[in-house]
Structure 1
Amino acid sequence: MASSGFSFTLGLLLSCIFTTLILCNATIPGHYHNPVHRHRHHPRVASHNYKDALTKSILFFEGQRSGKLPPNQRLNWRRDSGLSDGSALHVDLVGGYYDAGDNVKFGFPMAFTTTMLSWSVIEFGGLMKGELQNAKEAIRWATDYLLKATAHPGTIYVQVGDANRDHACWERPEDMDTPRSVYKIDANTPGSEVAGETAAALAAASLVFRRSDPVYSKLLVRRAMRVFEFADKHRGAYSNGLKKYVCPFYCDYSGYQDELLWGAAWLHKATKNPTYLGYIQTNGQILGAAQFDNTFGWDNKHVGARILLSKAFLVQKLPALHEYKGHSDNFICSILPGSSSTQYTPGGLLFKMNDSNMQYVTSTSFMILAYAKYLTSSHQVVNCGGTTVTPKRLKAIAKRQVDYLLGDNPMKMSYMVGYGPRYPQRIHHRGSSLPCMASHPAKIQCSSGFSVMKSQSPNPNILVGAVIGGPDQNDRFPDDRSDYEQSEPATYINAPLVGALAYLAHSFGQL
């Protein structure tokens, strides 16, 4: 790593913190925690202000924006960035989201984030009241970018930024000077998982905008169909052709079959075209519909496809997809507390892996609530080896996970930044940890920021609503900025949580 001529010391950071808090965090919604909400139609007492958490979970996405920021940008410690993205290949790839605490735009997790934000709105948007518009704006920031990335038939631009070079720096997105290399898939370098997920994202988002912006909705669904056709026709993993650029960051470990099934499921929902139902019926087993994996996230979509297709059977009464009720029931039985196939921490948190475990907590909680909704509407239950699991029990399991995330845990800490009286102060996030442009307009060079990254100083810019990787399997959390596995936020952690929080806020009369 080249040493920088610009000496950025810890002392300067400390002197900036007070200024930063005043200049950079001026318009953040209040950091309050009002645990008790009573409502005449909701006699139960909520232990959390889910409405506040919902507001913040959506606000987080504004902190991850790349490109030209709009006049109504609320997290005003961020500024424009990546304004020449795409120029390396003479295309416009300005916009979209940085995936986590770095300054790279990875298309695979961005598309998954978009799909899950859209599903959150499709299932629970009707409950969101004033936050619905903010959620739609968060989706549109992504879909506008995904439309640019898929503008040329037979090509999808799947990444902007050299991840290895980016990770060798600790700098604000506004300062970044690492190569904004552009990576693409095409017939010669296929990427069925990225293309399949992008098709799912565009199809799901088309449902979000169907009433409010029918012209945009039609554009999204037409593009989704074209992208899916490309994904299916040119089968292959992008982790092969683009391995040195996308691995180990967002390497595809589960294969691309799940994304083809997932993409087809969303297109079936968005278009009602029998072609997609036929595709699912013909290819479902080959693509792993009945697999017993129970980890749902940016890499593996099998569980999501099962739950989504079970809705077509349970709610839309489509008998051809009856088997997906059984597949979904298997998933539910496998993640129940006490099941031999799923680990929980001593404090009760679903635990899948050390690296960014909270993404599995949020995605599983959303899946459970969505499935509970479908079961309720069809008056059905889940049978797990003689034990009847009701929708009510499923809702309680999901609520327990969300409550843990919001502070009901052995550390007595909220894992959502800016929510509750105690939350992580040193998250692994470049823009949040370095002084903002308003308090420190001079450029912070590539390696100069590492003194801050390694320090114990709290982040000066509050990335409100960011949910981080979370505690370890023993409920411990060190709040250490260099520990990216536990301290880094990501868009795909927040996206499914938006729907779960909307449901909980509504069920306790907060919306």
Structure 2
Amino acid sequence: MASSAFVLLCFFTLFLLCNGYPFHHNNPHKSFHRHSRLASHNYRDALTKSILFFEGQRSGKLPPNQRVSWRKDSGLTDGADLHVDLVGGYYDAGDNVKFGFPMAFTTTMLSWSVIEFGGLMREELQHAKQAVRWGTDYLLKATAHPDTIYVQVGDAKKDHACWERPEDMDTPRSVFKVDRNNPGSEVAAETAAALAAASMVFRRSDRAYSRLLISRATRVFEFADKYRGSYSDGLKSYVCPFYCSYSGYQDELLWGAAWLHRATRNPMYLNYIQRNGQVLGASEEDNTFGWDNKHVGARILLSKSFLVQKMQALHEYKSHSDNFICSLIPGAPFSTAQYTPGGLLFKMDDDNMQYVTSTSFLLLTYAKYLKRSSMTVSCRGTIITSRTLRTIAKKQVDYLLGSNPKKMSYMVGYSPRYPQRIHHRGASLPSISSHPQKIQCSAGFDFMNSQSPNPNVHIGAIVGGPDLHDMFPDLRSDYEQSEPSTYINAPLVGSLAYLAHSFGQL
């Protein structure tokens, strides 16, 4: 057993060295050297741009301090057909639909980024909190009526049949909801998680708003748990195939309860997790974390209660989290992760970068918990330290920012070389300022099919990324690789704050 562990350690060390990881044998609990000259990238600049991206995704009446000038007001009558106010929120990606499920997850992850690393953000903290609030202000509107959540604004199929600026859109702004008769536990529980997490973001700076958020989160979670069912069933023709819930709603119930437990410290949620954790938790081979699947995120989140708060009742989540970590370690007995030749974590062809950013965030967050508790991860005898987790996460972020075979940043506006033709309506069409005349539905496709670079640089947008072979064609029509989304950026905000601070850039 000892000899096999030694062989594994040697293999892992060789992998790190061959893929450009700095490998040290000194104190594993030290942070990165705090010297900007050793940094691979300007993480502070990337942090600024990653947050700025959210302003380009805003729907509704834009505020006076709006920095993305090529965007204007849009969707100002959203919800009017049902006599509800659903103005605001975010467009999820390169289209003009407001999907509540990924928007809630985006808000949860932005909040978690601020909770864990907001203290390192300095002047960017206010911008990050504004990004959170743009999401929560909308989610409060969407949950204003008890036992009802408005989960989508816009007919996705009709929206996708047009290529229009948000400011011009004339496709139906249909409103879809879940309620007692047509439940949607996954979107409801994710919304509860977002509101609960955000309540912690504003706990000191705006206590009244924080109390409103946690009160609403409690009510929304009760609805999610009491009226169980998938919104993909009742609203299948509208939410599928765009944001179907493929993983079911059990993961969101555990995730929502975990956030309410962390935000309130109410024993009721601890009891809920203890009673339902085994039923709601998936198999430990399920190591995907993104807008649809929250199992791994819930494990990492709950592990903090054991590692830092010493809640013995949640000790199992430490081992569950360790198994996730071991699944990422190349050559480890439980490793299931796939990497490109250039070293990028690769989960799937469509929008792979969301798994890169979410996994990197979990690595840095778990490293933080391990360091605070002076604990490590054991992968069948091989000890993995918090330093190793930070090293792996940094490698992924560096690849995203340009340390890759194509020498291309997959964040728009960062470094001299980045995607020029992202799949995004607003960015690819002339702005209202330069072209005040309306661009009709079908006329927009002339711009979509053009080989010209986008006229509006959507600074901070992170695209779906390269394929399994590190190739990226930079085609506007290739939405799988060229479309940005809010849930790619949200977890990266926290990772970039950590890296910028670690290298003395903040």
Contact 1:191–1:238, Cα closer than 8 Å, also in 2: yes
Contact 2:200–2:263, Cα closer than 8 Å, also in 1: yes
2:477 is the alignment partner of 1:497:
no
Q: What's 2:218 paired with?
A: 225
Contact 1:199–1:223, Cα closer than 8 Å, also in 2: yes
Contact 1:120–1:496, Cα closer than 8 Å, also in 2: yes
Aligned CA distance change for structure 1 residues 40 and 501 (closer, same or farther; 3 Å): closer
User: Mapping of 1:98-247 within 5 angstroms?
Assistant: 98-247=91-240
Q: Deviations over 1:37-80 (max 9, x none)?
A: xx995376101000000000000000000000000000000000
User: Mapping of 1:271-286 within 5 angstroms?
Assistant: 271-286=264-279
Contact 1:369–1:500, Cα closer than 8 Å, also in 2: yes
Q: Deviations over 1:310-362 (max 9, x none)?
A: 00110111111000000000000001233541100000000000000000000
Q: Deviations over 1:370-392 (max 9, x none)?
A: 00000000000000011110000
Classify the secondary structure of the residue corresponding to 2:248.
Answer: coil
Contact 2:117–2:497, Cα closer than 8 Å, also in 1: yes
Q: Distance in 1 between matches of 2:292 and 2:366?
A: 21
Q: Distance in 1 between matches of 2:372 and 2:485?
A: 33
Contact 2:158–2:171, Cα closer than 8 Å, also in 1: yes
Q: Distance in 1 between matches of 2:340 and 2:199?
A: 38
Q: Distance in 2 between matches of 1:193 and 1:137?
A: 25
2:442 is the alignment partner of 1:447:
yes
Unmatched segments (≥5 aa) in structure 1: 1-38
Question: Number of matched residues?
Answer: 473
Give the partner amino acid of 1:352. Answer: K
Q: What's 2:59 paired with?
A: 66
Deviation at 1:455, TM superposition (A): 1.1
Contact 2:33–2:502, Cα closer than 8 Å, also in 1: no
Q: What's 1:308 paired with?
A: 301
Identity of aligned residues (%): 79
Contact 1:290–1:327, Cα closer than 8 Å, also in 2: no
Q: Could you tell me which of 262, 269, 272 is aligned with 2:255? A: 262
Give the partner amino acid of 1:485. Answer: E
Deviation at 1:88, TM superposition (A): 1.3
Contact 2:36–2:505, Cα closer than 8 Å, also in 1: no
Unmatched segments (≥5 aa) in structure 2: 1-31
Contact 2:36–2:504, Cα closer than 8 Å, also in 1: no
Contact 2:34–2:502, Cα closer than 8 Å, also in 1: no
Q: Distance in 1 between matches of 2:264 and 2:284?
A: 26
Q: Distance in 2 between matches of 1:477 and 1:337?
A: 24
Q: What's 2:7 paired with?
A: none
Q: Could you tell me which of 80, 88, 97 is aligned with 2:73? A: 80
Contact 1:82–1:94, Cα closer than 8 Å, also in 2: yes
Q: Distance in 1 between matches of 2:120 and 2:504?
A: 10
Deviation at 1:289, TM superposition (A): 5.4
Q: What's 1:365 paired with?
A: 360
Q: Distance in 2 between matches of 1:337 and 1:406?
A: 22
Deviation at 1:290, TM superposition (A): 5.2
Deviation at 1:291, TM superposition (A): 3.1
Q: Distance in 2 between matches of 1:429 and 1:316?
A: 44
2:319 is the alignment partner of 1:331:
no
Q: What's 1:434 paired with?
A: 429
Q: Distance in 2 between matches of 1:385 and 1:198?
A: 37
Q: Distance in 1 between matches of 2:378 and 2:192?
A: 34
